[in-house]
Amino acid sequence: MSTRFECKMNEFQSSIQTPKARAAALATADQDIDTAKRLILSVFTCRNMLAPISVLPAEILARIFHFNAFSGHRFSMGWVPVTHVCRHWRQIALDDSTLWTHFSPYLWDNEWIVERLSRARNAPLVIDLCSSMGQDTFSLFAPHISHTRELYLRSMPNIPYPTLIQWISAQTAPALEHLELYVSNLVSPMDHCDGPSFFKEPLPELRIFCVYQVLFPWSLVPRGRLTQLEVTLSKGLYTSEPEVSPHDNLNALIDLLVNCPALEVLTFKNCLPAALSESSGGQTIHLPRLSRLCLGGSSSCVTNLFKMLKLSSSTTLSLECTAEYVATFNEHILPALSTHFNGSTPMEFRSFKIILNHNSRVIDLVASTSLPTSPIPHVNDFQADIDIDAEFTLSLSFLGFHDFNDVVDMTLRRACEVLSFSKLEFLSIFSLVTTRPVNWGEVFRHCTEVTTVQVAGHGMASLLEFLAPPQRYSGKGRKRRRGDNGGGTAKQASHDNNNNNNNSESSPMWVPIFPKLTSLLLERLDFNIEVLGLDIVFDVILRIVRRRKAKKTPLTTLCIDRCIITAEEAGELEKVVPDFRWDHHQVEVDNSDEDEDDECDDDYDYNGSDDDGNEYSDISESETSE
């Protein structure tokens, strides 16, 4: 073969001695190469056709491409490499226009946008335009609005709002089903008061309409077929004035809601007409399909609109109220909520979460008919997802009130009275700020079925004192474990006097709560601070564990997370709780002033003898002998 090749090359070289012959030979060689490439490609094509997946019909492959394209974020183009696998796959992808209809807010260059619009042809588009996109890119979509199904116009600082409104007002969108218009980074909302609609012509197919930080007359909202309506203004950025606000026409709002009976989701935040604060108008609006209602604004406006709506008792509620008067909550909105949840099919809550923000003077209440998915939920989990899967969320702002602690006491007590907590099992309460303690025994006296309590934040240490009644002392006196600072004797006397005064079984301050408690979750607590000026947190918790064990209602689970506690203290608790869980975060504490002979059991009798049958009563041995 080598000899034959050399002879062939000699003949070839002898025939290309002239430039003209060399050019002709070069052209012939190029043709032979192209022929060989086509032959190899045809062989690859034949081989690909023999692969099992090539037996699938084109419709099945297209369906697989759809799963690949939309399994993650619907705007992701990470699926495009499948079009480079083979000619057959590429042709199937190009023939399916619906694969090219979703346009990401993070767009590529204009040439790629034009190519994708061409591949989408006349299929319904989903366009999400935001970020730093310029007007030249923005204008590429104008000819295609007529066959756009979903349009999101959000946070486009490079396009002035008047330009944006002028652009959409010149378009027709007969196929539009979902419209979101969001204007951000503004000191006050933008006005949009012109025209019969947001577009050149009405939107006959519109189902979802969401507008943020835009003022417009209620008459501009399409009627009849809406299933989701959301109108939101930033809190504190706008004060409603009837003579200038297009949102302040109460009759127009009522007309809108009456003519949207198919609504399933309704959100009005900080945009309710001022006239609602005076009266609900006495009109009832039926929204039988509404599954979620979100209202935000002054307490009177929220309350009066809520009273006007006739909803199913299964409708999920999320209310954000700014208080004018505490009575508005206690005597108006809370009874209205009780009526809503106690309809023909009463709703029994099993989980209740409370967040007290003393700095902002806000109370957040979250109630759910289900228990937390995690057996040991952390406070940051429910703060991040405060309204996820909860049937009821209420945020109360009391900025204008001097004594927030009194507001907390009254509001929580009233909430526990009117809401259905007879089957409540899980209670979580969080506060970082320590204030004058609330009478928790009175607040939660109706919650007798609670089995799990989460106490989170240093400000909630006072709740621990109500989980077990105070102990009577045997008379020997008790030294403080740490932190006397030279005042141990005086403080101990005050301690003993307070205990004697408050130990009466009839004392309303020390009503035992949660008799069925089995799990206690402690988070962000300092175990070395005083509770109500008496014991330190560690001693209170130890008393809770031992007293409940003595009364045959033992605390079986104790979880300690992100707390200030020593390894010694954690070890003592681990000995008395069957299921003890600790994250092993510990802080060194100076115990130089502590009496080494002072043991936790010196002053208390934990034998739990209770012959008279009185619940949670305790008499020490010395008192019995007397």
Q: What is the pLDDT of residue 378?
A: 66
Q: Does residue 35 lie in a domain region?
A: yes
Burial 90-123 (b: 16+ CB within 10 A, else e): eebbeebeebbbbbbeebeeeeeeeebbebbeee
| Cβ neighbours for 414, distance < 8 A, ≥ 6 positions apart | 329, 330, 334
Beta strand ranges found along 136-226 (DSSP E): 148-154, 178-182, 190-191, 208-212, 214-215
Looking at residue 202, its pLDDT comes to 84
Burial 378-406 (b: 16+ CB within 10 A, else e): bbeebeeebbeebbbbbbbbbeeeeebee
Q: Is residue 513 part of a domain?
A: yes
Domain boundary among 18, 37, 56: 56
- Three-class SS state of 497: helix
Per-residue pLDDT at 84 = 86
Tokens of residue 612, six digits: 């008279």
What's the mean pLDDT in 210-234?
A: 88
Query: Quick one: what percent of the chain has pLDDT higher than 90?
Result: 27
Q: Are 167 and 190 in contact (CB under 8 A)?
A: no
| Tens-place pLDDT, residues 195-205 | 556 888 888 89
Does residue 540 lie within any of the structural domains?
yes
**Of 447, 576, 445, nearest to 511 (Cα)?**
445
Task: Answer yes or no: is 547 within a domain.
Answer: yes
Parent domain of 401: 349-476+507-589+599-626
pLDDT single digits (tens) 225-257? 899 999 998 875 444 444 456 677 888 899 999
User: From CA 364, how far away is CA 366, in angstroms rounded?
Assistant: 7
Q: What is the pLDDT of residues 13-57, one digit of tens each?
A: 666 777 877 788 888 888 889 998 988 888 888 887 788 888 888
Instruction: Tell me whether strands 557-561 and 292-298 are parallel, antiparallel or unpaired.
Output: unpaired
- 178-182, 474-478, 526-530: the lowest-pLDDT one: 474-478
**Chain mean position to CA 6:** 79
| E-strand stretches of 382-518 | 392-397, 426-430, 452-456
Amino acid 85 reads V
Residue 57 identity (one-letter amino acid)? P
Query: In sequence order, which residues have a C-beta less than 8 Å from that of residue 588 and are 6 or more positions away?
Result: 566
pLDDT for 619 beyond 50: no
Instruction: Specify the amino acid at residue 388.
Output: I
Backbone angles phi, psi at 242, to 5 degrees: -55, -35
Q: What phi, psi does 269 have (nearest 5°)?
A: -125, 120
Tens of pLDDT, residue by residue over 583-604, are 887 655 444 444 433 333 333 3
Give 3-state DSSP helix, strand, coil % of the chain, rounded to 5. 40, 15, 45
Structure tokens at 622: 């010395």
Per-residue pLDDT, averaged over 353-358, amounts to: 90
Q: pLDDT digit string (tens) for 469-512?
A: 555 544 443 444 444 433 333 333 334 434 444 443 334 444 56
Token match 């509620």: residue? 317
pLDDT digits (tens, 9 = 90+) for 89-129: 899 999 999 999 988 777 667 888 899 899 999 999 999 88
Q: How do residues 63-74 score in pLDDT, each as one tens digit?
A: 988 888 877 655
Last residue of a domain, one of 7, 41, 56: 56
CA distance from start to end of the chain: 122
**pLDDT value of position 346:** 79
**pTM (predicted TM-score):** 0.76
| pLDDT exceeds cutoff 60 at 451 | yes
* Number of domains, the chain: 2
Is 62 contained in some domain?
A: no
Residue that terminates a domain, selected from 10, 36, 56: 56
| Of the listed ranges 30-44, 208-222, 401-415, the one predicted with least confidence | 401-415
Helix (H) or strand (E) holding 40: helix 19-49
Average pLDDT, the chain: 77
Classify residue 249: in a domain, yes or no. Answer: no
190-194, 199-203, 400-404: range with lowest mean pLDDT: 190-194
Q: Scanning the structure block, which residue is given the tokens 């990470």?
A: 78
Q: Which residues pair with 319 in a beta bridge?
A: 295, 394
Residue 327 within a domain: no
Q: Around Cβ 12, how many Cβ atoms within 10 Å?
A: 11
Does residue 454 belong to any structural domain of this protein?
yes
